[in-house]
Amino acid sequence: MADHSKHEEFTELPDLSDFLGEDPYLAPYQQDLCRRYQLFTKSLCNLEEAEGSIDVFTRSYVFYGVHRQADNSLMFREWAPGAQALYLTGDFNEWNSRSHPYTSKEYGKWELSIPPKTESSPAIQHRSKLKLVVLTSEGEELYRISPWAKYCHQSPDSNTYDWIHWDPSKPFVHQHQRPKRPRSLRIYEAHVGIASPKEEIATYTNFTLNVLPKIKDLGYNCVQLMAIMEHAYYGSFGYQVTNFFAASSRFGTPEDLKRLVDTAHSLGITVLLDVVHSHASSNTADGLNRFDGTDSCFFHSGPRGHHKQWGSRLFNYQSWEVMRFLLSNLRWWMEEYLFDGFRFDGVSSMLYHHHGIDMSFSGGYSDYFGMHVDEDAIIQLMLSNHILHTFYPDCITIAEDVSGMPGLCKSLKKGGLGFDYRLNMAVPDKWIQIMKELKDEDWDMGNIVYTLTNRRKGEGCICYAESHDQALVGDKSLAFWLMDKEMYTNMSSLVPMTPVIDRGIQLHKMIRLITQALGGEGYLNFMGNEFGHPEWLDFPRKGNDESYRFARRQYDLLEPENNLRYTQLYAFDRDMNRAEEKYGWLASEKVLVTTADEKDKVIVFERANVLFVFNFHPSNSYSNYRVAASQGRYCIQLDSDAEQYGGHGRLETSTEFFTQPESFRGVNGQWMPHSMKVYIPCRTVIVLAKEDIE
């Protein structure tokens, strides 16, 4: 359970010594860093003084919405400052819009108590439909869903969602504790609705029974769930949230989701929620927009409250009640569902008043400081990280930020925003560029190494070769870029590989391993890409006749009777993760690149006392190729050319390699005292270590 102890004490100023020592170019912006820290500490103190404690404030879901009392009476509370009157209607009162009025309280709050029935049962039954009736200052009557609704559902005959009173007599009780925070984070990014080969919306139960075991087998220790927060439009991928406290009903009930999380925990899998606090759906009937009839209840009024690219509403992070709502939302998912952390979507949009629109962020550090920075949003993110890491010390927070904001993943006390990781979004862009623009013989080894290692020192990074973004229609996954012309015809393992399939399978493995081994402190894979899923992702819409053909993941391609090479890619991904689990290279800070040879197309580096040798050359294999290595005897721990991975079996895996006291000059001019000779076939990577894999 959560530790609800008092928050840590903060000093007057942050300790910037490490921050500035690692990045001297930040020296002119010390005042900016101190200012945002001071604004954060001031906000924290103000909240505690006014609310009694940050714990109480950030668990306001126990106060707002609907709650059954000890005597089975029901207490309803809302914040609707622009409303003239508020009423509750639904199945329980035969949809009489004025029979149950709320009482107006101070600060725009409203309250309604409904006594139990004569036999002492609650006046409103579990699964009953409800609506709030908002009477605006202009006398207009609006039907709304409570912002704190725990369950919403769309009826087959309706275009909007209903608020469903969720109060089961036997709520699900979690049986398993959260796993310990992983030493190395290997994330399986997943969408419950597409997690089935069937052309339909898959369920939480399907994911629990059929996908979690695959995630465990593949060696991923974390699943990141997308599109869980309720969203009226399925095709939004969950990024147009309508109901922030409700788990999406299209996949099942809240109890089904709790069972999914609990099962994942039983398997030792950490579960992250893709949380969207950067914006909200512009829906009114089933969203937050114009909840109380005004343009400014949860959002900025006027143009500032509208995202011109996304067509969504933008939160007013300076608002006391918005802070309460969003911070309590984080606590709700942690407490009620036992999630282990969050991937924060759209952080770049939050950080700047321009929301990153038409910005390249390729200039100086002035991009990250100044009047164009939204300090209110920055404070909101700092408060979010503070409460999460205070009450849940093992909580993981990841920021989706394309801008490269310095200090995003520094601790608050050291002048940062407090995230644990940021997504390294430059890497998948680089792979796509290489696929589109360059012939194999023109791949730039130095540029690949630079892209994979170019990240802020002292700030955790989640690296990936491809995520859901690259799977969407209009783009291509790596497998599609490499093999799309033949993936539907030539993937049988019963016939020899064509040149296209051979190239695609070998490079698919190499790209994913070099990304994991060199690109960050954590690794992410989008579901299905581990085995080279053969199609893009496209949700049902008018443009495709509402088809589910591409809104699914074809796990059935892995069935043994199909004899398809997808199983070979799956096997390599599994063994890559298992090797990482053993050696922990993602958790190792020290990386030494010793070879990045443009002519030979060879990259060699050492991390976590493991030696990685990549030969990207399309045709040249090398015998007795000298590589730098720490002194010792090496064995092959992973060989992408092994036949079980769709390789050609050119290496004898029992071969031992011995270093010699022959110096080797690395790419940065450094001399290594020992080296050894290896055989490295074309389009192959071998992973060498000083002990055999068990």
State the catalytic residues.
Answer: 345, 400
Residues 6+ apart with CB under 8 A from 412: 10, 14, 37, 40, 382, 385, 386, 418
Residues 6+ apart with CB under 8 A from 419: 344, 381, 385, 397, 398, 399, 408, 409, 460
C-beta separation of 626 from 613 below 8 A: no
Report the alpha-carbon distance of residue 408 to residue 394 in Å, rounded. 18
Residue at token pair 């900016």? 32
* Phi and psi torsions of 394, nearest 5°: -95, 5
- Helix (H), strand (E), coil (C) string for 199-262: CCCCCHHHHHHHHHHHHHHHCCCEEEEECCEECCCHHHCCCCCCEEEEECHHHCCHHHHHHHHH
Tell the burial category of 9 from Cβ atoms under 10 Å away from its Cβ (0-12, 13-18, 19+): exposed
* Residue 597: how many other CB atoms lie within 10 Å: 16
Helices 445-453 and 426-437 meet at what angle, rounded to 10? 160
Listing DSSP states for 170-183 in one string gives S-----SPPPPPPS
Residue at token pair 């039907």? 143
Residue at token pair 């604004």? 39
C-beta separation of 579 from 572 below 8 A: no
Residue at token pair 């509403």? 313
Report the alpha-carbon distance of residue 694 to residue 690 in Å, rounded. 13
Tell the burial category of 413 from Cβ atoms under 10 Å away from its Cβ (0-12, 13-18, 19+): middle
Q: Which two tokens stand for residue 52?
A: 């009694």
DSSP secondary structure letter of residue 117: P
Report the alpha-carbon distance of residue 83 to residue 99 in Å, rounded. 17
